[in-house]
Amino acid sequence: MSEVSEIFGSLVFNDTVMKSRLPKETYRAMQMAIRDGKELDLAVATVVANAMKDWAIEKGATHFTHWFQPLTGITAEKHDSFISPIGGGKVIMEFSGKELVRGEPDASSFPSGGLRATFEARGYTAWDPSSYAFIKDKALCIPTAFCSYGGEALDKKTPLLRSMEAINRQALRVLRLFGNEDVTGVKTTVGPEQEYFLIDKAHFDARPDIQYTGRTLFGARPPKGQELEDHYFGTIKPRVTAFMQDLNEQLWKLGVLAKTEHNEVAPAQHELAPIFSTTNIATDHNQLTMEIMQKVAKSHDMVCLLHEKPFAGVNGSGKHNNWAISTNTGVNLLEPGETPYENAQFLLFLSAVIKAVDDYQELLRLSVASAGNDHRLGANEAPPAIVSIFLGDELTAILDALENESSYDGPVKEQMKIGVDVLPPFPRDTTDRNRTSPFAFTGNKFEFRMLGSALSISGPNVVLNTAVAEILRQFADELEGAESFEEALPQLIRRVIAEHKRIIFNGNGYDEAWVREAESRGLANLRTTPECMPYFGGESSIELFTSHKVFSERELHSRVDIFLENYCKVIGIEALTMLEMAKKDILPAVAAYTRELSETALSKRAFLPEADCSYEEAAVSQLSAGTSCIYLRTQALEKAIFNSKEIEDVEELSNFCKDVLIPAMNELRICADEMETLTAKDFWPYPSYGEILFGVK
């Protein structure tokens, strides 16, 4: 591996490169565009484009592309070369400011939820200067937003940028009340921890279910799974080490701050965690990380699985979204300070997050909903489907003291002017982590732990940013209109704590008693994607997102259709894959083994009429019954698939998938998995769980 400091960001048109290659005036204009989010003058963009092109060509690039994030959940790109004809059969390399700033990819074939008709092909990509251009696969990639001809957002970047601006506006209003005139910008930051599985490519190639759906639809549990807890943080295997080293180098070249790597709980499961970045850049980098993971794995004759639940019986994969709010002066607004006013400021922002999570718990749950994540949430491996906040005993005790206007029995008892105790020294690790909490305070940030591993982090952060922005707006309205800020502030904090403490839970989220307690508290328990989706188009959601100009009402309704259509398509593909595997592979395999045993018994008796064939007879009886079970449940699944084709309404279809298709699939799997345990290895058509999970050495 090359020297890290030399290769880091070597494929990124970052600030250092811009400063060295752009004229001073152009560089200053770029900095203003990045800082203020304003468009560049076309003349300035032309200078930038030419410098970008020269730099990219020096790095081996031959093409450029507007790199964007449509509502498929992955990235998209269309490559154009830099060549331009000059006559005489010759070309020159050109890249204009217009080509940098805007592109026109076909918008008709991307999910739009009715925002675009098939015959309405025009769409636009618009350069996002706040996220640096980079080189990937010999193409200059320009991060862009993607919108329709009418200006509606068709991507995941545009709403995210809007939500970041919303929280910036409202946070600045609150900070002004505390006399922070030097702060000119507030941004949210994120460090997304990425979990994934690595399996041998030969096993992937032998499993149609993993190829088509990203997960195993059949598979009996192996004798050993994760029971011994010997994989977590264990010694990393040589092939995985080589993969991680290669992955790090590729990510570092792209400026991705890959920091931590280790084995996760399940066999063949691992994790990569970056240092935090501004939410917009963190989202871009996480999309790149997932893409590069899969490419690098193939070069090591492995496959990287990002599905939330690739294997039954062992932990699935999540993505922990470590979220904080910081000023452009370097202050983390979720970190207690050294002075009374700093602590009061911390408490107000903490209260805003608490109220936002309580008021918009359904939207936060919805933001992580997917067919894949439905398998993971609520199991004893991930947070429950109930949204709650973990604060730890000490901070909870402080809030209780504030609510009751009593002194906190801590090491410091100096009284503040605004009527609350100064917070004691509050180290980052003041309390133990709670792995069962969906939304945990971890010293100076919140860890939103409900995200699935394949999910773009854009959606959850759009909801989180906008929800907190709305509460900050409410706080600013109230405090700006108060006769005395110092009197109104503690009253507001106490009221918020009293009204929203139901969302605070420091206990075991896996405990069934918590489900009952959460219900008594009035907290939502939305177990599946179809249960979540109606909230996105509800009155409260429309008011929230439209008032902060994050989504229009039309954009919101389009997302509901897109998410439900995707859910139905995923379940439909899984059902068809199961049907094909059962009919073409599993039933013939079990029948062949049954015939083998029957012929063995007949052969034994032909030579030894008194031969004991109890094993063969018992096995044939079990296999015959199992074959009938698989056949009958295959027929039931086929009928359910046929009936699903008759349903046109997407909401009705999603509920049919949840209530009919998935149970039919589960019933078929039970029979097939039992037959795997009874069928000889040489006859079973697929690699077993044991072979897959322990196959990478």
Considering the domain boundaries, does residue 228 fall inside one?
A: no
Residue 136 is assigned to a structural domain of this protein: yes
Q: How far is residue 62's CA from residue 52's CA, in Å, rounded to a whole number?
A: 12
pLDDT in tens, 196-242: 999 999 999 999 999 999 999 999 999 988 888 888 889 999 999 99
* 544 domain-assigned: yes
**In a shared domain, residues 131 and 253:** no
Asked if 39 contacts 33 with a C-beta cutoff of 8 angstroms, the reply is yes
Q: Assess if residue 222 is contained within a domain.
A: no
Most confidently modeled range among 152-156, 270-274, 392-396: 270-274
Per-residue model confidence (pLDDT) at position 382: 66
* Mean predicted confidence (pLDDT) in 12-37: 91
Q: For residue 221, tell me if it sits in a domain.
A: no
pLDDT digits (tens, 9 = 90+) for 571-618: 999 999 999 999 999 999 999 999 999 999 999 888 888 889 999 999
- In the structure encoding, which two tokens stand for residue 459, read together? 């959606």
What is the pLDDT at residue 429?
A: 44
Q: Are residues 525 and 582 in the same domain?
A: no
CATH number at residue 621: 1.20.120.1560
Q: Are residues 168 and 98 in the same domain?
A: no
261: Cα separation from own chain's centroid: 18
Query: What is the sign, positive or negative, of the torsion defined by CA atoms of 574, 579, 582, 585?
Result: negative
Residue 465: CATH number of its domain: 3.30.590.10
Q: What is the mean pLDDT of residues 449-465?
A: 97
Q: How far apart are the first and last CA of the chain?
A: 22
* DSSP string for residues in 465-491: HHHHHHHHHHHHHHHHT-S-HHHHHHH
Q: Which residues contact 51 (CB under 8 A, 6 or more apart)?
A: 18, 21, 22
Please tell me whether residues 54 and 128 are part of one structural domain: yes
- pLDDT for 393: 84
Q: How far is CA 271 from CA 177, 240, 315, 356, in A?
A: 42, 11, 13, 29
In a domain, 94, yes or no: yes
Does 626 share its domain with 602?
A: yes
* DSSP type of residue 326: E
Q: What is the mean pLDDT of residues 416-444?
A: 61
Measure the CA–CA gap between 253 and 4, rounded to whole angstroms. Answer: 9
Assess whether 344 and 441 both reside in one domain. yes
Residue 626 has pLDDT above 90, yes or no: yes
Predicted confidence band of residue 35 (pLDDT cuts 50, 70, 90)? confident
Q: Are residues 120 and 173 located together in one domain of the fold? A: no
Q: Is pLDDT larger for residue 420 or for residue 619? A: 619
Residue 556 lies in a domain: no
- Across the range 353-373, mean pLDDT stands at 97
Which of 484, 517, 551 lies at the terminal end of a domain, its last residue? 551
Q: Are residues 526 and 587 in the same domain?
A: no
Measured over the CA atoms of residue 347, residue 352, residue 354 and residue 355, the dihedral's sign is positive
One domain, residues 442 and 302: yes
Into how many domains does the chain fold? 3
Q: What is the CATH number of the domain that holds 78?
A: 3.10.20.70
H/E stretch holding 517: helix 512-521
**DSSP3 helix / strand / coil % (the chain, rounded to 5):** 50, 15, 35
Report the share of the chain in percent with pLDDT over 70.
93
Residue that finishes a domain, picked among 127, 155, 183: 155
Identify the band that residue 668 occupies on the pLDDT scale cut at 50, 70 and 90.
very high
Indicate the residue among 108, 123, 155 that finishes a domain. 155
d(CA 172, CA 445): 19
Report how far residue 19's alpha carbon sits from residue 684's, in angstroms, rounded to the nearest whole number. 62
For tokens 């990510």, what's the residue?
A: 251
Same domain for 656 and 602: yes
Q: What is the pLDDT of residues 462-510, one digit of tens each?
A: 999 999 999 999 999 999 999 999 889 989 999 999 999 999 999 988 8
Instruction: Confirm whether pTM is higher than 0.85.
Output: yes
Asked whether residue 20 is domain-assigned, the answer is yes
Confidence of residue 427 (pLDDT cuts 50, 70, 90): very low
Q: Let me know whether 627 and 523 are in one domain.
A: no
Entry field: residues in the chain: 697
* pLDDT confidence of residue 570: 97
Bridge partners (DSSP) of residue 67 are: 143
| For residues 286-311, average pLDDT | 98
Which residues span the domain enclosing 674?
Answer: 566-693
Residue 141 three-state SS: strand
DSSP bridge partners of 525 = 386
Do 150 and 201 have their domain in common?
no
- pLDDT bin (cut points 50, 70, 90) of residue 107 is low
